[in-house]
Amino acid sequence: MTYRVCFVCTGNICRSPMAEHVFRHHVEEAGLGGAVEVDSAGTGGWHEGDGADPRTVAVLEENGYTSAHSARPFRASWFSALDLVIALDEGHLRELRALARTPEEAAKIRLLRSYDPAAGDALDVPDPYYGGREGFEECLEMVEAASGGLLAAIRAEVEERTA
């Protein structure tokens, strides 16, 4: 049974596609590509159908990640098919919890940086959209730092399911 995770930010053109591609890379490297499906979406549909922000694409590709993407809004109906919904900041967390129709759906929502022990109380990945390239590089650093902990948690879930 495939474990499904979806990363969610505001417009699905900066942070969540970056997290999607970075995490998919980690999943593949860990040999879990057949067991874990990685996706992303936005809390709104402003950029629906658009590719990732060119700065996101540049930072991803310069660091060896893929970048193909088509933005889309998150739908409440997806909760039933997802195992984990990863919010990139507290605002997304609140919006996703408001969309959840049951306590079980709400329990699937987590902040990405909660998987990075070094993050402390700073659990938001700041939106780089209105800034310069350095914000996108910082975003990548935060996503990479949390990916190991997230991968360990998902690996444990996948192993538990197959035991």
Catalytically annotated residues: 9, 15, 127
Identity of the amino acid at 150: L
Burial class (CB in 10 A: 0-12, 13-18, 19+), 78: middle
Measured torsion, CA atoms of residues 66, 70, 71, 74, in degrees rounded to the nearest 10? -100
Token pair 């088509």 is found at 70
- Cα 70 to Cα 10: distance, rounded to the nearest angstrom: 14
Structure tokens, 53: 């922000």
- Cα 139 to Cα 141: distance, rounded to the nearest angstrom: 5
